[in-house]
Amino acid sequence: MTRAERIVSAAIQHQGVTISLPMPARHAQVLHCAEQFLPDYALPAFCQGFLTSEGRFVNRVQARQIGYIAGQEPKTTGNERDLYSEDLW
């Protein structure tokens, strides 16, 4: 039996480069890490999302759908469309 794809970490992506930290890291921690290594980065230019168990970067909307299908039972933080790390861990 094949396991469903799951959300495994918070991540950001810019120009094809993905930066992530393992759970329970939040997006703010990932952004802070990026700032340490990329001092000239532009915060608004990053897309916030998640990495899946298949190694894919997905945006917040895709992540909510994947988490739901995988049975990760995302809590709601007031936004029914997007997924936030607080919804999972």
Residues 35-82 have pLDDT tens digits of 877 666 555 678 999 999 999 999 999 999 999 899 997 777 666 789
CB neighbour burial string for 56-76, b if at least 16 within 10 angstroms, e if fewer: ebbebebbbebbeebebebee
Q: What is the pLDDT of residue 75?
A: 75
Q: Which helix (H) or strand (E) holds 31?
A: helix 27-37
Q: How far is CA 19 from CA 35, 48, 68, 81, in A?
A: 11, 10, 24, 23
C-alpha 81, offset from chain centre: 14
Q: What is the pLDDT of residue 73?
A: 76
Strands (E), the chain: 7-14, 17-22, 47-52, 57-59
pLDDT at 21 over 80: yes
The mean pLDDT value for 6-30 works out to 92
pLDDT at 12 over 80: yes
Q: What is the pLDDT of residue 46?
A: 82
pLDDT at 15 over 90: no
DSSP state letter for 27: H
- The two three-digit tokens of residue 86, written as one number: 């607080």
